[in-house]
Amino acid sequence: MKVLIAVLILLILQLQYRLWFGDASIGQILDYQARLAQLQQQSQSEKERNRALYAEVQDLRKGKQAIEERARYELGMIKKNETFFQVLE
């Protein structure tokens, strides 16, 4: 009977060791969950960025107004027969 109790205690200790310190232990699972949450948040922000870029591409494909706006603000272009005023402070 003492041998059976000793074997059971050793088995329980071995299982507890694996639970707390071995592969797929509770600490590793918590680390993996934190990393997964971080990656999901990063993925969500990348999805939002992609949606914004896709909307911008669609806008550029549809009309000349978006292209004209970009040419004005980014390249400093003006239309023919337009007068350009620059205000310095």
Q: Report pLDDT digits (tens) over 29-78.
A: 899 999 999 999 999 999 999 999 998 888 878 877 777 887 888 888 88
Chain centroid to CA 48: 9
User: What is the band of 6 on the pLDDT scale with cuts at 50, 70, 90?
Assistant: very high
Cα(16)–Cα(13) distance, integer angstroms = 5
User: Is 7's pLDDT higher than 90?
Assistant: yes
Which pLDDT value is given to residue 51? Answer: 96
Which pLDDT value is given to residue 49? Answer: 97
Chain centroid to CA 57: 21
Higher pLDDT, 62 or 8: 8
